[in-house]
Chain A
Amino acid sequence: VDLALVWFLLSGVTARAATYYVTVAGLGGEPDYEQRFQGLASDLDKLLKDSGGDLHVYTLSGNQATRAHIDETFATVAQQAKAEDDLVVILIGHGSFDGTEYKFNIPGPDLSGDELASLCDKVAAKRQLIVNTTSASGGSVGALKKPGRAIVTATKSGTEKNATVFARYWIEAMRDPAADVDKNESISALEAFQYADRKTANFYESQKRLATEHPQFEDTGKNDPVRAPSTENNEGLLLSTFTLVRIGEAQREAADPAKRDLLAKKEELEQKIDKLKYEKAAMEEDDYKNQLTAALVELARVQQELDK
Chain B
Amino acid sequence: VRWKAQASILVAAMTVALAAASFARAATPEECHGLRKHGHNDQAKACFESLTQAREPAIRAEGFWGLEMYQDANNEFRQAVAQSPANANYRVRWGRLMHERFNNKDAADLFQEAIERDPKNAQAYLGLALVSADGFDNKAVDEAKKALDLDPKLVEAHELLANLELEDSDTQAASAQADEALKISSEALDAMSIHAAIEVLADRSPEEWLAKVKQVNPTYGEAYAIVAHHLFLNRRYDDAVAYYRKAIEADPRLWSARSELGINLMRLGQEEEPLRQLQMCYDNGYRDPATINSLRLLDSYKNFLTFRDDTSIIKLHKKEAELLLPYVQSEVDRSIATYEKKYKMKLPDPVQVELYPDHEDFAVRTLGMPGIGALGVTFGEVLAMDSPSGRPPGTYQWGSTLWHEMSHVFILTATNHRVPRWFTEGLSVHEETQVSPEWGDRVSPEILIAVRDKKLLPVAELEGGFVRPQYESQVIVSYFQAGRILDYIQDRWGLDKILDMVHSFAQSKTTPEAIQENLGMSPDEFDKQFFAWLYEQKALGKMAASFDEWRNRLKDLAELAKDKNWDAVLLKGDEVRQMYPDYVEGANAYEFIAEADMAKGDKKAAAAVLTEYEKIGGLSPDALKELASLEQEMAEPKEAAATLERINYIYPIDEDLHRKLCDLLFDQNNLPDDIRECNAVIAMHPLDQASAQFNVARAYFAAGRRDQAKDHLLASLEAAPGYRPAQKLLLQLEDSQKGK
Q: Which A residues are within 8 Å of any B CB, using their own CB?
A: 177-184, 191, 194-195, 198, 205-208, 269-270, 273-274, 277, 289, 292-293, 296-297, 299-301, 303-304, 307
Contacts and interface: CB of A to CB of B under 8 A. Distances in A.
A198 B727 CA distance: 27
Nearest to B656: A178
B687 A194 contact: yes
A171 to B, nearest CB: 16
A182 B731 contact: no
Nearest to B690: A183
A303 B688 contact: no
A181 B721 contact: no
Interface of B: 389, 391-393, 651, 653-654, 659, 686-691, 710, 714, 717-724, 727-728, 730-731, 734
A179 B688 CA distance: 7
Contacts of A300: 717, 727-728, 730-731
Contacts of A207: 392
A178 B731 CA distance: 23
Given A183-B724, A307-B724, 11 more contacts: A177-B688, A184-B722, A194-B687, A206-B389, A208-B392, A293-B714, A296-B717, A296-B718, A297-B734, A299-B722, A300-B727
Contacts of A270: 721-722
A42 B393 CA distance: 29
B719 A292 contact: no
A194 B688 CA distance: 10
A206 B393 contact: yes
B440 to A, nearest CB: 23
A178 B687 contact: yes
Question: Top 6 A-B pairs ranked by shortest CB distance?
Answer: A300-B727, A183-B720, A183-B723, A178-B688, A296-B717, A273-B721
A292 B714 contact: yes
A19 to B, nearest CB: 23
A239 to B, nearest CB: 14
A56 B730 CA distance: 40
Interface of A is mostly: helix
B718 A292 contact: yes
A262 to B, nearest CB: 13
A206 B621 CA distance: 12
A182 B714 contact: no
A41 to B, nearest CB: 21
A206 B656 CA distance: 13
B558 to A, nearest CB: 15
Contacts of B653: 206
Nearest to A248: B724
A296 B688 contact: no
B720 A182 contact: yes
A110 B572 CA distance: 45
Contacts of A177: 688, 691
Nearest to A269: B721
16 contacts: A181-B689, A181-B690, A183-B722, A184-B720, A184-B722, A194-B687, A205-B389, A206-B651, A273-B718, A277-B718, A292-B718, A296-B714, A297-B731, A299-B721, A300-B717, A300-B730
Interface of B is mostly: helix
A299 B724 CA distance: 10
Contacts of B686: 178
A179 B689 CA distance: 10
Contact of A206 (B392, B710, B728, B730): B392
Given A300-B730, A304-B727, A182 B391 contact: no
Given A293-B714, A297-B730, A299-B727, A178 B691 contact: yes
A181 B389 CA distance: 26
A205 B651 CA distance: 12
Contacts of A297: 730-731, 734
Contacts of A303: 722, 724, 727
Contacts of A292: 714, 718
A91 B540 CA distance: 53
A208 B391 CA distance: 7
Contacts of A307: 724
Interface centre among A180, A205, A273, A300 (most CB of B within 10 A): A300
A299 B714 CA distance: 13
Contacts of B392: 206-208
Contacts of A180: 688
B731 A304 contact: yes
Contacts of A178: 659, 686-688, 691
Contacts of B710: 293
A74 B688 CA distance: 36
Interface centre among A183, A270, A274, A297 (most CB of B within 10 A): A183
A195 B393 CA distance: 21
A205 B724 CA distance: 34
Nearest to A266: B722
B723 to A, nearest CB: 4
A205 B393 CA distance: 10
A206 B389 CA distance: 7
Nearest to B694: A183
Nearest to B653: A206
Interface centre among A177, A182, A191 (most CB of B within 10 A): A182
Contacts of B391: 208
B586 to A, nearest CB: 14
Nearest to A270: B721
Nearest to B621: A206
A269 B654 CA distance: 36
A182 B719 contact: yes
A232 to B, nearest CB: 21
Contacts of A301: 731
Interface centre among B688, B720, B722 (most CB of A within 10 A): B722
Interface centre among A184, A289, A296 (most CB of B within 10 A): A296
A150 B659 CA distance: 32
B248 to A, nearest CB: 39
A251 B689 CA distance: 24
A296 B721 contact: yes
B426 to A, nearest CB: 30
Contacts of A208: 391-392
Nearest to A300: B727
B152 to A, nearest CB: 51
Nearest to B394: A206
Contacts of A299: 721-722, 727
Nearest to B393: A206
B456 to A, nearest CB: 33
Contacts of A296: 714, 717-718, 721, 727, 730
